[in-house]
Structure 1
Amino acid sequence: MKKMYNSYVANFRGLSREIWLLSLVTFINRAGAMVIPFLSLYLVNVEGFTLPQVGWIMSCFGLGSLAGTYIGGKLTDTIGFYKVILMSLFLGGIGFVLLQFINTFYGFCIGIFILTLMTDAGRPAIFVAADTYSKPGNITRCIALIRLAINLGFSIGPLVGGLIIANLNYTSLFWIDGLSCMMAALGVFVLLQPKKQKNTITEKTTLVKEGVPPYLNKLFILFFVIMIANSLAFVQYFSVMPIYYEQVHFLSEDVIGWLLFINGATIVVFEMPLISWLDRKQISKTMATFWGILCLGLSFLVLNLTSWSGILVVAMLLMTFGEMIGFPFSNALALEMAPKGRKGSYMGLYSMSFSFAHLIGHNGGMNLVNSVGYFNTWTVFSGFLLIIALLTIWLYFRLKKSQVGKV
């Protein structure tokens, strides 16, 4: 046990003070975003919207994420990550506070779009900051620490949010979310000093770009489609699933918070050791993606096997292990498929897969449940993911034939 602990801690030694502070700020921000997991419940229970209406509102969430990530990346290159992070946190905090005063369908569509645009504009800036503040050779570990902070925040946030709703009300969440974002902005302003982006020696030579752009790479487009499909199912756990917990299993918001806590806590404790072990086993990145998709599919399938509420924990653990195995290796596979000089454009397209899933997935899931019910919806998603898993195996053999690294 001590050896495992020392091995786990060793992954984060030697990181700069700024990286730790950046991770702390990220944790405060993500822990404060406790409205998001309960947003669908709030829209149904408090505002009285129908499931299809909630689906359209969540599509605006995805559209805002897509626009915010794109604009944030452009602004980061123009005015620097420091200002983008500050503006994203502060304006996002104001947005959370103001959201509670909206009570019309179209108002929520616009409000959610603007709020998500502001909050997600900071995502590219965070990782540019990680690159800037990292020491030579440890950028991967810096990003791992920030990812751990994000997941720890997402595990604690829903837990605290559920307790607040159970003991106070939904309105309190908006104030806490808004103030926590502003606190995170203050933390960036006070603790992190602006620093110029790493500027390697500018060479007069033109950067040679190998291969083709991502949208002309047929295998990468296939991989991109697989990632969108996987994410379409994954986002159901953060919109449709909380409503399912309440309407079918009659769980209160605080218990739902504990269920969501399982996801983040499991990732924080087990992801780094699991990924390190799989990496030592030299597992194929494509096959790791396959196993991640399969676990997610099984998480939907088991929900139809019994009415026992304990199956919700089993499903959450299956989804979590699918996330832990699938997402890190699919990210690495995207980098591996990107030719020299085009990694930015390839990773940009890869990152957009999750935004597209937000745009389509929540709406599709809500309308599917409204039309055919939860049992049939989970059957559709489990069968859909089985097809996507088989498609991933086909990608594996196609990549193996083209000899793209450790596919």
Structure 2
Amino acid sequence: MLHQLYRSYTNSFSGLRKEVWLLALITLINRAGTMVIPFLSLYLTKSRGFSLEEVGWILTFFGLGSVTGSWLGGKLTDEIGHYKTMAASLILSSFLFVLLQFPQSFWGICTGIFLVMTMADMFRPAVFVAISAYSKPENRTRSVTLIRLAINLGFSAGPAIGGLIIIGIGYSGLFWVDGITCLIAGILLLKLLHPKRSLENAKEINLKPQSVLKDKPYLLFITAMILFGFIFLQYFSTVPLFYAEVHHLSEFEIGVLLGFNGFIIFLFEMPLIKYLEVKGKSATTYVILGIALAGLSFLAMNLSNWLGTLVIGMFLLTIGEMIAFPFSNSFALQRADKGKQGSYMALYSIAFSISHIFGHNSGMQLIGKLGYSFTWNVMIGLALFSCLLLVWLKFKLKHEAAA
């Protein structure tokens, strides 16, 4: 029985090209280092003494930088290619992460956050296009899942290590580790991954690419992703504060709970995706399921003050995330074949960047004025609305296929 489970698990990784594995390794090193992000709200309140409202506005600049970086990354990917864009993003952001610890004023930190996220999020549309370039169409969803596996394994180790770094040498250590790991990832990209090994030349060239802004079903999909991002990103800003202020967890305990998310994804996401792919349901169906589970995670936290609800909530979010992100990525990549891939994947990345702009700030403002319970109910409502938009998208796609 155990042997069969092991074979099933290892078979879920079969058929992926070496370049996809190398891309996953680079992403793992990069994401393991970005441990300052989950602790950013705690750093700004505890170490810098900013109010929740001020932190909300600082995180808005986080989102603005993310939008700018995603847009710029998409443009550069279409102009100079995914390889050079990823390298520039990793190397430049490594220096900016180190410098981010030095600004003291509100506007200095806002500017620093904006510049860091602009450089760092140039990587996002480029890596999505790289997945498409280095993988066969039938392996795209699993290739995306492998990259997500690397991201979440990095996030699994990162917060736990980050909590220990804070205890040992303070918050400044996080910025140094972030910068060094980004630099290492950039060097490995230049040394190990070569653009000539991509499958782009073997693909059919789209001589009349469609403008992404004219693809109405895709814009509907992006709107749903903005709402999903809005609720998902609470787990990296307001939820850690909920853990600390309401349940009195330490930084290390918060890091372990966030790390639980990445650990579950590391163990089960790839087999789960392969299992779901065999079922033959549409990508949008699975995205709806994933977002619904994410909404239920907030319901769990509202049910009682029992600490176990935090674990249940994180588990529901994790399963929802495991389903929603790979299939939404896959849908976006498939749709990107209609036009310039960089622009399509930039818009997909920008969806979550917009969530950063409004999600963190609105969450902080809602909590400050109306409390955590009301805020979690708002997230549940947004999850339901996002699911309804995707149901509408399914009808539009059926009509498009029949035309």
TM-score by length of 2: 0.89
Note closer, same or farther for the CA distance 1:199–1:380 as it changes in structure 2 (3 Å cut). closer
Question: Does structure 2 conserve the Cα–Cα contact (< 8 Å) formed by 1:336 and 1:404?
Answer: no
Deviates more, 1:302-311 or 1:270-279: 270-279
Question: Does structure 1 conserve the Cα–Cα contact (< 8 Å) formed by 2:142 and 2:270?
Answer: no
Question: Does structure 2 conserve the Cα–Cα contact (< 8 Å) formed by 1:215 and 1:221?
Answer: yes
Question: Does structure 2 conserve the Cα–Cα contact (< 8 Å) formed by 1:163 and 1:257?
Answer: no
Distance (Å, rounded) in 1 between the aligned partners of 2:76 and 2:340:
20
Distance (Å, rounded) in 1 between the aligned partners of 2:189 and 2:218:
37
- Aligned residue pairs total 402
Can you list the C-alpha shifts for 1:90-134, whole angstroms capped at 9, x where unaligned?
221111111111111111111001001111112233344445555
Q: Offset at 1:322? A: 1.2
1:171 equivalent in structure 2: 172
Note closer, same or farther for the CA distance 1:128–1:302 as it changes in structure 2 (3 Å cut). closer
Q: 1:5-404 to 2 correspondence within 5 Å?
A: 5-134=6-135, 138=139, 140-193=141-194, 195=196, 200=201, 207-208=207-208, 213-335=211-333, 340-341=338-339, 345-403=343-401
SS in 1 for 2:246: helix
Q: Offset at 1:398? A: 4.5
Distance (Å, rounded) in 1 between the aligned partners of 2:295 and 2:325:
15
SS in 2 for 1:49: coil
Question: Does structure 2 conserve the Cα–Cα contact (< 8 Å) formed by 1:80 and 1:197?
Answer: no
The CA RMSD measured in Å over matched residues stands at 2.8
Amino acid of the residue matched to residue 287 of structure 1? T
SS in 2 for 1:36: coil
Deviates more, 1:83-92 or 1:147-156: 83-92
Note closer, same or farther for the CA distance 1:121–1:252 as it changes in structure 2 (3 Å cut). same
SS in 2 for 1:249: coil
Amino acid of the residue matched to residue 350 of structure 2? M
Q: Offset at 1:139? A: 5.1
Deviates more, 1:18-27 or 1:334-343: 334-343
Distance (Å, rounded) in 2 between the aligned partners of 1:5 and 1:12:
12
Distance (Å, rounded) in 2 between the aligned partners of 1:137 and 1:297:
30
Question: Does structure 2 conserve the Cα–Cα contact (< 8 Å) formed by 1:166 and 1:252?
Answer: no
Question: Does structure 2 conserve the Cα–Cα contact (< 8 Å) formed by 1:231 and 1:357?
Answer: yes
Distance (Å, rounded) in 1 between the aligned partners of 2:158 and 2:212:
36
Question: Does structure 2 conserve the Cα–Cα contact (< 8 Å) formed by 1:29 and 1:181?
Answer: yes
Q: Offset at 1:296? A: 1.2
Instruction: Give structure 1 stretches of 5+ with no counterpart.
Output: none
Question: Does structure 2 conserve the Cα–Cα contact (< 8 Å) formed by 1:132 and 1:195?
Answer: no
Amino acid of the residue matched to residue 309 of structure 2? I
Deviates more, 1:385-394 or 1:167-176: 385-394
SS in 1 for 2:280: coil
Distance (Å, rounded) in 1 between the aligned partners of 2:376 and 2:42:
19
Instruction: Give structure 2 stretches of 5+ with no counterpart.
Output: none
Distance (Å, rounded) in 2 between the aligned partners of 1:125 and 1:398:
29
Can you list the C-alpha shifts for 1:235-273, whole angstroms capped at 9, x where unaligned?
111111111111111000111011111111111211122
Q: Offset at 1:214? A: 4.3
- Residue identity over aligned pairs, in percent, reads 51
Question: Does structure 2 conserve the Cα–Cα contact (< 8 Å) formed by 1:89 and 1:122?
Answer: yes
SS in 2 for 1:37: coil
Note closer, same or farther for the CA distance 1:224–1:318 as it changes in structure 2 (3 Å cut). same
Question: Does structure 2 conserve the Cα–Cα contact (< 8 Å) formed by 1:96 and 1:178?
Answer: yes
Distance (Å, rounded) in 2 between the aligned partners of 1:305 and 1:199:
50
